[in-house]
Amino acid sequence: MRLPAPLARIWAIFMKELTQVRRDRITFGMMFGIPIMQLLLFGFAINTNPKNLPTAVHVEDNSPIVRTILQGFETSEYYDFVLKTSDPRESAALLMRGDVAFVISIPAGFTKRLVRGEHPQILIEADASDPAASSNAIAHANMIVSRALRHELKGALGYLSADAPPYEIVVHPAYNPEGITQYNIVPGLLGVILTLTLVMITGMAMTREAEQGTLENLLAMPVCPLEVMFGKILPYVGIGAVQTIVILAAAKYMFHIPFVGELWVLIVGVTIFVLANLSLGFTFSTIAKTQMQAMQLTFFFFLPSLLLSGFMFPFKGMPHWAQIIGECLPLTHFLRIVRGVMLKGAGFMDLAAPLRALSLFTLLAVVVAMLRYKRTLD
């Protein structure tokens, strides 16, 4: 039986489209790759009630009661004691670098004063630059301590378990005392916007030459790969600079985000980050055959950057494997730099680790791009 004419033509176009889609391996892969990745990331990696946040303890009183309190913090699963400090300045540095999310301090004579009914203090210093990460743990602190002490405050000490707790928990939410979400989001947006635009633009700039046949001409002229790469990337460094200025201005005048640190440190960070993204985009363009594919590769990279870098969800609240992936993404390190400088006043030396990671990433991307860039048409 013959199909009616319009149906036959629809069928013809349908078949042609199907054949073309199937032949474009990258597009085909992305159609399955992106949803699967989304499922995995949203399903497993993301945790809006982050637990096991790294915590430092600074204890100057070593009694059974104090040990019970600390144990209570640990078993609550909100706090994960990663180290002990004895120097208050060190705990400040730990918070600033983001090595820990909390520092719990119990002063000398805590037990003695507790027994005397003098309501001694437990100090929790929290990195509140990301309110979402710290708020749940803080909210649970009182309950954790009172539950831990329930057994201790029986018998001889029964008089202490009256109505009000016999201690006081003092919380210092550092860097963002009012818990304003924008403080965390807006500086992060700088990184997100730079990632998306720069990777995509460079990825497409090079594939366009291949797609339009101008690459053959370019290759036939005396210009070497490194020169092509620098020449292609340079204009977008300028675009990255303009974007940075616009976002920083908006952060200051529109959102009133504080800028505690030094500008030059941020500029160093932004520069390395921009180069990292541009060289990554260039690498993508050596893999993709068409502009469409370059765009898809960009999204394949952008999605985990958005979800696993600590931009949308607390980094320390993610499962271990997700943190490992996150550590490989330039955005993760850039967020540490930009939030560190703007909110925490971190200096160059405090940010040595993320700066080093970013530089390493950039170097790798440049090397891969150079190795993959073809001098010939093969």
Residues that bind other proteins (CB under 8 A): 212-217, 219-224, 375-378
The span from the first CA to the last CA of the chain, in angstroms, equals 47
List CB contacts of 63: < 8 A, sequence separation 6 or more. 110, 111
Instruction: Please return the burial class of 154, using the count of CB atoms within 10 Å of its CB with bins 0-12, 13-18 and 19+.
Output: exposed
CB nearer to other proteins: pick between 230 and 321: 230
Instruction: Please return the burial class of 103, using the count of CB atoms within 10 Å of its CB with bins 0-12, 13-18 and 19+.
Output: buried
- Nearest-angstrom CA–CA distance, 143 and 348: 39
Minimum Å distance from CB 213 to other proteins? 5
What are the two backbone dihedrals, phi and then psi, of residue 123, each rounded to the nearest 5 degrees?
Answer: -105, 125
Structure token pair of residue 277: 């993204």
Minimum Å distance from CB 231 to other proteins? 10
Minimum Å distance from CB 374 to other proteins? 10
Buried b (16+ CB within 10 A) or exposed e, 278-312: bbbbbbbbbebebbbbbbbbbbbbbbbbbbbbbbe
CB nearer to other proteins: pick between 57 and 210: 210
- Amino acid found at 11: W
H-assigned helices in the chain: 5-23, 25-40, 64-75, 88-97, 110-116, 131-149, 181-212, 214-220, 225-253, 263-287, 291-308, 320-327, 330-339, 352-372
DSSP secondary structure code for residue 152 in this structure: T
CB nearer to other proteins: pick between 172 and 208: 208
Minimum Å distance from CB 273 to other proteins? 30
CB nearer to other proteins: pick between 193 and 219: 219
- Nearest-angstrom CA–CA distance, 273 and 358: 7
CA 202 to chain centre: 23
CB nearer to other proteins: pick between 226 and 245: 226
CB nearer to other proteins: pick between 156 and 220: 220
- Nearest-angstrom CA–CA distance, 244 and 364: 24
Packed helices 352-372 and 330-339: angle between N→C axes, nearest 10 degrees: 150
List CB contacts of 230: < 8 A, sequence separation 6 or more. none
CB nearer to other proteins: pick between 71 and 214: 214
CB nearer to other proteins: pick between 49 and 212: 212
CB nearer to other proteins: pick between 116 and 374: 374
- Nearest-angstrom CA–CA distance, 108 and 235: 60
Minimum Å distance from CB 214 to other proteins? 5
Minimum Å distance from CB 98 to other proteins? 45
Minimum Å distance from CB 218 to other proteins? 8
Minimum Å distance from CB 309 to other proteins? 35
Q: Give kind and range of the element (H or E) at residue 102.
A: strand 102-106
Minimum Å distance from CB 375 to other proteins? 7
